[in-house]
Amino acid sequence: MTAGVVAEGSARRRAGQRALAAAEYAASAGGGAGVPAVDLARAAEVRLRAGGGPGPGDPLLLGVRHHGPGSARAVRRALDAYRPSVVLIEGPPEADAIVGLAGEEGMRPPVALLAHVVGDPARAAFWPLAGFSPEWVAIRWALEHGVPLRFIDLPAAHSLALGQEEEGASGPGPLPGVPDADADAPSQGQASGPEPGGEAVRIDPLAVLAETAGYDDPERWWEDAVEHRGSGSGGSDQGADAIAAFAALGEAMGVLREAYGDGGYDRDPVREAHMRLRLREAQRAHGERAAVVCGAWHVPALRAATTVAADRALLKGLPKVKAELAWVPWTHHRLARRSGYGAGIDSPGWYAHLFDAPDRPLERWLTKVARLLRDEGIGVSSAHVIEAVRLAEALAAMRGRPLAGLAETLDAVRAVMCEGSGVPLALVEDRLVVGDVLGEVPESAPAVPLQRDLERQRRSLRLKPEALERELQLDLRKDTDAGRSRLLHRLRLLDIPWGEPAVSRGATGTFRETWRLRWEPELAVRVAEAAVWGTTVRGAAAAKTESEAASTTALAGLTALAERCLLAGLDEALPVVMRALADRAALDSDVGHLAQALPALARAVRYGDVRGTEGAALAEVAVGLAERIFVGLPGACAGLDADGATELRGHVDAVHRAVGLLAPAAEAVDGGASVSATSDGTTSDGTTSDGTTSDGTTSDGGASDSGASDSATSDGGSSDSANAAAAADHAVGPAKDGGPGLNGDSLRSRWAGTLSRLVHRDDLPGLIRGRAARLLLDDGVLGEDEAGRVMGLALSPAVPPGEAASWVEGFLGGEAGGGTLLVHDERLLALVDGWLAAIPEAGFTDVLPLLRRTFSAYEPGARRAIGELVARGGPAGGRPEHATEALPGFGPDVDEGRAAAVLPTLELLLGRDREERRDLENRRDQRDQRDREDERGQVTPRGPAAPRDRVTPGDQPAPPHQEDQP
């Protein structure tokens, strides 16, 4: 594979070839079985000596590919054969103090050495180690054999400082480990930074070798040449082979470095000088037989003849910071290259398998794949595994590879098990090829107090950090779950997003919470960062919240903070937030800001009591806020352009929802009012229905005694709606006689009053007026007839078409329910239809975009239904009288017998008692009587009430349906 491929070219090319020859010796060294091990070992040493020249003693230089299982196995064999007196590893020397932890029971790779600047944990670097990393193998070997262990790379104190210096020039720059011989050195990167950019062109030595050998993928060449070799059981002569292989590989690198110099790795000379110094030091202290495990790229440099003085000179004047080191758990996902700044291997899961499998790696691997697919419900039998193994082996033979590699096995899995589809294959790649292993660090490892507190709480709440994302359902009525929820909320306040709140599936209810949990290794850094706020999770969260409350200027931000405070159960921080909130609310007069802030606050008030927190103070602020919005809203609506109106419509909707939430909380005293409202409404023989009809009879009951009418008498036209609002009050119950106060009913009625004022002011944008009318209609405050009248007004020929169209958008657009309203309320449909038909041709093109925007938001079903209705000529001519005709598909009259059949079920649903049923029956009798009296026997379609209820499942039900009384 050499001569044909390598064209005669530059000196570099030839150097690559020479290096390849050396590397091939490494690959072929396995053939020397039979030669006594010692001889080979000695031969290797001789080679080293010969190649190295007068160096600092004769260390065993094990140049490896970081995270290569083959390298790792070879390192173990080499160490077994060589028996060094001291083991030196490329890594920050500060870690010497904590390396002993690696031997402890609780330590499970993948883990990483985390180095961060004291007092600034965000400036950090990682040296990840997997179970199949050569460094990890060497560490464990040294600890098991009681051999001293030293890290010899540039201290983190320097590298972190250097990293900071570079930041100005090239962003969060690479720390010295990154651009290593094999592009995947114990990878160091700023926790927040991306992979190094290309400030200098750096060569990938492996790529050069692979290219020379005719491989397009350096990883693959390395696998074939090194990793897949000698997977047999360890033996002494294999140990010697390993030593020889390392020697040859070092030679290859030496040739490469002759050609390429430092290959673009500017900081390498400094690092290597430090390595040499540490190496000499170690040899002085522990004897000559030292073994060095480092990136293959560094081997020639470590063998180079330099003077101590020269090395010292290189190291002079390096910037320095105070660094702290710790072990942190790591994950396979982080090791994978695709995760951004990982250590740079594609397939940690595959490598771990290769390293751990005692024998028959291919068969075991494909069995694993089959089990995974089976667990996911894909039928895969043993026969599939057999065929996949055969196919993978055939592929490997065809591609001329010594052993089926990952590419072959995945191709086989795709063809045999996945029926050619890539979807299940993606699962295999995610779960097995990369894997979701999360390392563990023993408790005795040094950690910040906050970390310990988190661990303690985690344990008592039985929450396990897992690398795989999973969903957690919490029932807040249980103590443990409530505790979990509080912990997760506090962590979120501290910017440690272990859990993200998710939308509950299926289960609704304020006592339920759903979280998506996923522990990422960076979270360890976040914990270290958050440690400045306190020593316990609760204390830190409270301190951070208080400081945030002081610095937040936006009202919405403050209310959101208050809500999160309640969720996290931070009672001590709440007063501070509330104070800030009250101050800010008093100063802020912008209705938009107030309206933005209200929803979060309303939620906090509403759900606060589910968690047993005190919400009274909050409710006070919230109600105050709402009042100020009510007052300011009509003014704020004036003189808006289209965009402003759209924005404000969103605010109006939000406030409407918030008021719905606030009202029951404020009226908590007379709980259950909303339930009794229904029965009140149905029994109040006609008074309410009078109040809401538009026949001009300013009604007898509601308006006079409710006391709410004063809020809605801005102009003459609004008297009807004032009555309507009052009627609603009346419907909500007699408990209301005490007059307005901090009471849910009055809050709601005042909001209704505000909306009514909006509806009747002609100088406001149509969008807002339409929206207000719709909200009132949905709440049943605005009767249907009144709604029809208002709509008729808004759509009169005198109103410019553009304005009318935006009214229609406000009234019918927005939420999904708009379409169903038109389907069920023929009168409104007739109005719209009539208006539309009457628009002059010139105006039509102007309103078309607005209309299209409105109607395109409807569900296709609703759109089609409307279309059918119109096509059938149902709502013809815009004359409301036609609406009294039966709906298409319905009989002309209500079939009482069939309608009665649903009543028992309805009663069960609504939980009525017998007394109410009697009332209902009374009422039905009365109505029957009336029907009989009424010759025309008109029946309004019963539809409208139903969809409206669905649209606003608010606490106040729509008033009972009324008969149409001409």
Partner 1 sequence: MTTQIDAEAALRPHAEHAFADELAALAAADDRPRPERWRLSPWAIAMYLLGGVLDDGTVISPKYVGPRRIVEVAVSTLATDRALLLLGVPGTAKTWVSEHLAAAVSGDSTLLVQGTAGTPEEAIRYGWNYAELLAHGPSRDALVPSPVMRSMAEGMTARVEELTRIPADVQDTLITILSEKTLPIPELGAEVQAVRGFNLIATANDRDRGVNDLSSALRRRFNTVVLPLPATAEAEVEIVSRRVDQIGRSLQLPELPDGVDEIRRVVQVFRELRDGVTHDGRTKLKSPSGTLSTAEAISVVTGGLALAAHFGDGVLRAGDVAAGILGSVVRDPAADKVVWQEYLETVVRERDGWKDFYRACREVSE
The residue from 228, 267, 384, 544 that contacts partner 1 (CB under 8 A) is 384
User: Alpha carbon 94 to chain centroid distance?
Assistant: 35
Q: How many CA atoms lie within 13 A of 68 on its CB side?
A: 30
Instruction: Kindly indicate which of the ranges 109-117, 404-412, 521-529, 794-802 contains the residues binding partner 1, using the contact rule CB under 8 A.
Output: 404-412
Nearest residue (CB) to partner 1, 414 versus 489: 414
Q: Using CB under 8 A, which residues numbered 709 to 738 contact partner 1?
A: none
Residue placing its CB nearer to partner 1 in the complex, 399 or 512: 399
Residue 510 binding partner 1, by CB under 8 A: no
Q: Residues in contact with partner 1, total (CB under 8 A)?
A: 23
Query: Helices 574-587 and 591-608 sit at what angle, rounded to 10 degrees?
Result: 150
Among positions 168, 379, 840, 897, the unique one binding partner 1 when judged by CB under 8 A: 379
Q: Does 395 bind partner 1 (CB under 8 A)?
A: yes
Exposure on the CB side of residue 379, measured as CA atoms within 13 A: 0
25 burial level (CB within 10 Å; 0-12, 13-18, 19+): middle
Binding to partner 1 (CB under 8 A) within 533-592 occurs at none
User: Which one, 347 or 709, has the nearer CB to partner 1?
Assistant: 347
Restricted to residues 415-474, the positions that interact with partner 1 (CB under 8 A) are 415-416, 418-421
Rounded Cα–Cα distance for residues 584 and 560 (Å): 13
Among 20, 296, 326, 391, binds partner 1 (CB under 8 A): 391
Binding range to partner 1, per CB under 8 A, among 46-54, 246-254, 276-284, 411-419: 411-419
Distance of alpha carbon 361 from alpha carbon 228, whole angstroms: 11
Strands 290-295 and 60-64: parallel
Distance CA 360, CA 366 (A): 10
Determine, following the binding rule CB under 8 A, whether residue 387 of this chain makes contact with partner 1: yes
SS (H, E, C) 477-503: CCHHHHHHHHHHHHHHHCCCCCEEEEC
2, 170, 192, 381: residue in contact with partner 1 (rule CB under 8 A):
381
Spatial distance between the Cα atoms of 342 and 333, rounded to a whole number of angstroms:
8
The one among 368, 399, 401, 924 contacting partner 1 by CB under 8 A: 399
Does 377 contact partner 1 by CB under 8 A?
no
Among the listed ranges 184-192, 395-403, 866-874, 899-907, the one in contact with partner 1 (CB under 8 A) is 395-403
Residue 5 interacts with partner 1 (CB under 8 A): yes or no: no
Identity of the residue, 258 or 411, whose beta carbon is nearer to partner 1 in the bound complex: 411
Nearer to partner 1, 165 or 217 (CB): 217
- Polymer length of the chain: 966
| Of residues 413 and 781, the one with the C-beta less far from partner 1 | 413
String of DSSP letters for 347-413:
-HHHHHHHHH--S-HHHHHHHHHHHHHHHTT----HHHHHHHHHHHHHHHHHTT-SS--HHHHHHHI
Exactly one of 3, 7, 50, 383 binds partner 1 (CB under 8 A); which one? 383
Q: Which residues pair with 117 in a beta bridge?
A: 120, 323
Taking CB under 8 A as the rule, does residue 64 contact partner 1?
no
Q: State yes or no: residue 593 binds partner 1 (CB under 8 A).
A: no
The least CB distance from residue 20 to partner 1, in Å, is: 21
* Residue number, 384 or 774, with CB nearest to partner 1: 384
Q: Which is nearer to partner 1, 102 or 395 (CB)?
A: 395
Minimum CB distance to partner 1 smaller for 381 or for 796: 381
- Which segment (127-135, 305-313, 410-418, 637-645) binds partner 1 by CB under 8 A? 410-418
- Cβ nearer to partner 1, comparing 6 with 315: 6
Q: Give the interface segment with partner 1, choosing from 198-206, 378-386, 673-681, 913-921 (CB under 8 A).
A: 378-386
Q: Is the CB of 421 or the CB of 922 nearer to partner 1? A: 421
Which lies closer to partner 1 via its Cβ, residue 245 or residue 395?
A: 395
Q: How many CB atoms lie within 10 A of CB 589?
A: 11
Please name which of 680, 770, 669, 661 lies closest in space to residue 727, comparing C-alpha atoms: 680
**CB 420, min distance to partner 1, A:** 4
Judged by CB under 8 A, the residue of 262, 411, 919, 955 near partner 1 is 411
Least distance from partner 1 to the Cβ atom of residue 369, Å: 15
Residues 792-821 interacting with partner 1 (rule: CB under 8 A): none
Per-residue three-class SS string for 89-134: ECCCHHHHHCHHHHHCCCCECCEEEEEEECCEEEEEEEEEECCCCH
Residue 919 dihedral angles phi and psi, to the nearest 5°:
-55, -45
Buried b (16+ CB within 10 A) or exposed e, 723-732: bbbbbbbbbb
Q: In what order do the strands lie in the sheet with 120-129?
A: 120-129, 111-117, 323-329
Stretch near partner 1 under the rule CB under 8 A, chosen from 375-383, 425-433, 482-490, 734-742: 375-383
Cis ω before 110 (30° cut-off from 0): yes
Stretch that binds partner 1, among 71-79, 397-405, 594-602, 846-854 (CB under 8 A): 397-405
Cα 350 to Cα 130: distance, rounded to the nearest angstrom: 12
Q: Is 398 in the site for partner 1 (CB under 8 A)?
A: yes
Q: Write down the least CB distance from residue 460 to partner 1, Å.
A: 49
Q: Is residue 363 a contact point for partner 1 (CB under 8 A)?
A: no
Find the part of the chain contacting partner 1 (CB under 8 A) among 388-396, 519-527, 631-639, 779-787: 388-396
Q: Please state whether beta strands 86-89 and 290-295 pair in parallel, antiparallel, or not at all (unpaired).
A: parallel
Among 371, 390, 478, 950, binds partner 1 (CB under 8 A): 390
Query: Between 45 and 387, whose beta carbon lies closer to partner 1?
Result: 387
H-helix or E-strand containing 329?
A: strand 323-329
CB closer to partner 1, 395 vs 567: 395
158-197 binders of partner 1 (CB under 8 A): none
**Closest separation between CB of residue 384 and partner 1, Å?**
7
For the chain, the C-alpha Rg in angstroms (whole number) is 39
Beta carbon of residue 215, minimum distance to partner 1 (angstroms, whole number): 14
Single out the segment in contact with partner 1 by CB under 8 A; choices: 160-168, 387-395, 756-764, 950-958: 387-395
3-state secondary structure of 514: strand
Using rule CB under 8 A, residue 790 touches partner 1: no
Using CA atoms, how far apart are residues 293 and 362, in angstroms rounded to an integer?
A: 29
Taking each helix axis from N to C end, the angle separating 479-493 and 555-567, rounded to the nearest 10 degrees, works out to 150
Contact yes or no for 324/118 (Cβ under 8 A): yes
Residue ranges of E strands in 478-579: 499-502, 512-517
The contact set with partner 1 (CB under 8 A) reads 379, 381, 383-384, 387, 390-391, 394-395, 397-400, 407, 411-412, 414-416, 418-421
